[in-house]
Amino acid sequence: MKLVVVSAGLSVPSSTRLLGDRLAAAVGRTAEVDVHVVELRELAVEIAQNFTNGFPGRALAAAQDAVAGADGLIVVTPVFSASYSGLFKSFFDVLEPEVLAGKPVLVAATGGTARHSLVLEHALRPLFAYLKAVVVPTGVYAASEDWGAEGLDGRIERAAGELAALMAGLSGGASAGVPVGREPRAARPDAFSAVVPFEEQLAALRPTG
């Protein structure tokens, strides 16, 4: 299975990239995956040019293709002004519509303080729900004090296990000819199959004799 890590870290080394790498390694301990990393800082100029001319450069196009062909994504952003970074959002703005529909996504973020941990719920999760991705239940936020502290490893392992399970399930459905994120039509009960026509309901209410 193909796993793509999208990292919006700006520095080198980057705690954002480090978190993405640790999450990918945890997924790899649960399932057999081929990991590809997209470093958005290397694509910043091409992303900006895509907004002005409507065409992706070669590196950006390769990154878009990697995301489109992935069985699952890990997306990691630093927190800027209590939300995801502008570079992070801009990358997903230049993707083709529907490219993330039905795709499993693990959301993660890094920040200087634990007070920004709700960025996962008020910013990242709604963004990927809007893009019709399947967001795993556990998101991972790492503040500066979390590195090396108790608890982060457990969150990483839990989130990675959830992503691996979704990737395996949806990949298996696609290989069997089932559209990703959907069950076979025959397996879904018809909610209207047992509806009694209105005329029959009225006839049942009329007095007899």
Structure tokens at 203: 């006839």
Could you report the per-residue pLDDT of 45-100, keeping only the tens digit for each? Answer: 999 999 999 999 999 999 999 999 999 999 999 999 989 999 999 999 999 989 99
* pLDDT tens-digit series, residues 106-157: 999 999 988 999 999 999 999 999 999 999 999 999 998 898 877 899 999 9
- Alpha carbon separation from 153 to 25, 36, 169 (Å, rounded): 12, 22, 24
| Among the listed residues 15, 35, 13, the one whose alpha carbon sits nearest the alpha carbon of residue 25 | 35
CB distance 127 to 89 below 8 Å: yes
Least confident of 5-19, 80-94, 160-174: 160-174
**CA–CA–CA angle 20, 21, 26 (5° rounding):** 100
What pTM value is reported for the model?
0.80
The reported pLDDT for the residue numbered 185 is 42
Distance CA 192, CA 100 (A): 31
